[in-house]
Homo-oligomer: A and B are copies of this chain.
Amino acid sequence: MIHEPRYDCAIDAAMSVIEGRWKTVILCKLYRHGGPIRYNQLMGQIEGISPRIFTLQLKEMERDGIIVRKVRSTKPKYVEYCLSERGLSLLPILKSLADWGLKNMFSNMVEFNEDISVPSKEELKESGLC
């Protein structure tokens, strides 16, 4: 197995599930969308991601049981992704992280680096998680 997890610690176990350039974003999008969503539709909502990486992240998340992949055998077939129960149970924690980040990181940047374009606090709060 290539993926040799560092499961010596419960936090590392959890971190290994949400680490990955796009995973939290994907979780947010899935949550905010509500129901099942198709591959291309989901990818379209994530600016800057390439199909290879997108698929990779999805595969890992599916393996970790936080999302569910369903194939609809219509013609042509299509695929839907949604949060699993386990994935949903992560969202309160992600929300805490977002709150913490908003409070502790963005405030600094806005204060000291006004030239950096960063969403305003209001915009971020309004938009929820992401």
* Interface residues, chain A, with chain B CB atoms under 8 Å away: 7-19, 24-25, 28, 64-65, 86, 89-90, 92-94, 96-102, 104-106, 108-109, 116, 118-119, 124, 129-130
Contact = CB atoms under 8 A, between A and B. Distances in A.
A130 B11 contact: yes
A49 to B, nearest CB: 12
Given A19-B19, A109-B7, A118-B7, A13 B101 contact: yes
A66 to B, nearest CB: 8
A116 B13 CA distance: 14
A86 B104 contact: yes
B93 A14 contact: no
Given A9-B130, A15-B97, A130-B11, A104 B24 contact: no
